[in-house]
Structure 1
């Protein structure tokens, strides 16, 4: 219903709105509309997808965080060719992520599927805090106190990732991670290293720690890092931290709380003024006497899948939607003539409803052309304030239509 209203609105209006529909000849045509209504539709789509449009571009995320998320996006959409294309504003990320060692080293960590990946940077990495002084020398504090962990999702896995500039005189293998319990500092198990093109990353499993942060928001959200030499001895951090990049990544699934807290879709501007009118049956056509001609005349607009493409660039989303550049939604349209043979994939109910409609046209409507099969989920890679997210959306593209 949402797409149907969107198409009707577009057809009656006049600027490119980023929506392209079937031209019935194997091509598509651009829909024109006013800027005002284009912005309305864009807002409704973001609301439906649970995305907050940033007020301004702001500060770009850390380049290594962006590199990781672009690679993760491509890795998880490698069987969906259309989704791999990045918006032109982020084409450099596409060219820098041609090899991802994630599958080989980290896939076993994730025993579950996920709906959302959230990547975020720490507030700062500093030395000379009272706690680092008390815990020992050559220790830096990684502060995530700026990160809101009140997510309406269930955590599957959380990792803390490090990368090192190519001109640094140490590598990610020299990074050691610590956490605290009371006054005791505890070293984390060694991280797992993996490459993205020519850059090496190391990942530490911090799932239990982040679960604690989510359950107890009042907890201190700090971890600690040391950099060692090749013999395992800690090194002074002066001049080293500027080459060290750290970011957290959480993998989540959407539980019941997400759907309870999700904002309702406001599609009021698409509503039909006559939508609430009810047919009381007083205008129904009497059942005719004599034989009934149940063979409908041939129709050229029979039920089938039609093209519908949403271009995110034309919608003005290039500042925060990194990938894909758009997606093929498609839609179903056309009549469901009797007899409904197999090409229309009719349900038994559709067959029965069609027969009743032939006998008494105002008692029931015709069977309707609707999706009978949807494609795999679509994934979006986008910026959300100080975070970078990958989010999956199910049932976004029609692959087959039928009469129901």
Structure 2
């Protein structure tokens, strides 16, 4: 028997660090697929870069190389079932490779990652003695201790609704429906480590997507630190309405709909607080493909590589293409820019790529005139 059907137990607090230096805080969720455990969170949390511009987020230009994952661990001994909060150190780079999976779609960038967690592995739990001395303690997330004591973690799937007779409820999520984003705004928590529940209203159609991507927008008064938090439907009364079927059960109902990755274009607290949620299916696609991210120093392509791609993709049969592209009133510039960004898997700042495209077009135009 699991401790509770409370999805908050599957939410994790993340502290992104460079060695021992703390850079930022964020949120995540423990996800189970094919009997393996993952911490799912936002890509920009782990990479330390802006999703679109690829600019470094830390003011000192530091990049995370490890994270502290604080999570609930289920404790069972005989008839007793309870939980405690622990924190483990998870490396983001190992043997000169990243340790987390990204989505195969390089552009537009999918702002979600999955970090494998081996429950049988021994992780480091950092602690401090009363004297102030720092110590490292080994801990295994799933184990059987002496005297019948068992440890295990709680995945979001452990809390989810299991009656599939009503079909896939996620397809019945509509504009104006309420969901919750559960995470750590501004890193706020207390000694219990419990996350904060933020109510969100579906602001755009999940079925239509947003910007032709597997995402939708929500109206939510979120803050920094919520990026990577799970976006869920939750009914304490056990009620669910798919539009075709109304169901009333005896236990709370939880359904994961996706990962919240932050607000759109906000520069002040007074702006409309519209946030973005990547759909749940994105998580499964990331795990199924198991593509490791680039190391930070390898992520950004050199100008020469970008110029080579521009040259390879330039339509050689169209002598007037340079003039059309330099005319910003046509759609040529937009289409060619997105073509190049797709070919290089988004591994450059879009404005920089456009600058190189226009430079190339200008060179060809002058060459034609000569």
Per the TM superposition, whether the score is higher than 0.5 is no
**For the pair shown, which has the larger CA radius of gyration, 1 or 2?**
1
TM-score band w.r.t. shorter chain: under 0.3
The alignment's TM-score, normalised by the length of structure 1, stands at 0.24
Task: Name the one with the larger strand percent.
Answer: 2
TM-score by length of 2: 0.25
Higher relative contact order (CA 8 A, sep 6+): 1
